[in-house]
Amino acid sequence: MRRFLLVMLLAAVCLAADNDWLIVPGERVGPITGSTSRADLTRLFGAANLKDEKIHLVEGEYAPGTWVYPKDVKKRLAVIWKDKARTRIELIKITGSVSEWRTVDGVTLGMRLSKLETINGKPFSFSGFGWDYGGNVVGFDGGALDAEKHNLPLQLSDDTSRAKQLTQEQRESLLGDQTLRSDNALVRKLDPWVCQMVVTFKS
């Protein structure tokens, strides 16, 4: 009986870990923390769920990385390493249009700008679309997601069906190295979505 209870307890712990998709900015992404090594990833997720390769950052730059769940779009994330030995994490990138990973307040991939603004409690700022830094949130302007409290860099995508509602001239007005506001009438009409979350850890 005691052995059966122990097995059940261990199974419950494993299930809890398997379902832990919570991002705590600056602290953890599920079971991954700033001190997690490549060997730890194998223990946490299993060798079959990992893939090592150079991962694209920006402007043609690549860094040593490890994909976790590389074939599962809902679970996939990229661990970028500070060193070739893969013992220290530089950052974690989660990209795409859908994900199990989310913050306690619900921020996740695929979330629309309108919902993000609601969570923030006020309009925020981001860079114009159409280049490597396009759609990067540059400031939550003192809202609930402000970097000092949240520290979760986000990138927005303008690849939305609503783009058809904008003229070519209107679309072009949202491109390039400029700062846009989420309360801009054209931006709200477009209603872009979160396509990337980046997590760094407190030193």
Count of helices and strands (H, E) across the chain? 5, 12
Running DSSP on this structure, what letter comes out for residue 165? G
Only one residue has tokens 């989420």, namely 182
Only one residue has tokens 């097995």, namely 7
Running DSSP on this structure, what letter comes out for residue 52? E
Pairing status of strand 125-127 against strand 102-103: unpaired
Look at the alpha carbons of 6, 12, 15, 21 in this order and tell me if their dihedral is positive or negative: negative
The model's pTM: 0.86
Average pLDDT of the residues of the chain: 89
Pairing status of strand 62-68 against strand 154-157: unpaired
User: For residue 99, how far is the Cα from the chain centroid?
Assistant: 9
Percent of the chain at pLDDT above 90? 76
Q: Tokens representing 120?
A: 């923030």
Q: Tokens representing 107?
A: 């921020």
**Measuring CA to CA, how many Å separate 182 from each of 26, 128, 170, 197?**
25, 11, 15, 18
pLDDT digits (tens, 9 = 90+) for 145-203: 986 566 789 999 999 999 999 999 999 999 999 999 999 999 999 999 999 999 999 87
pLDDT digits (tens, 9 = 90+) for 24-51: 999 999 999 999 999 999 999 999 999 9
The torsion angles phi and psi of 62, rounded to 5 degrees, stand at -125, 155
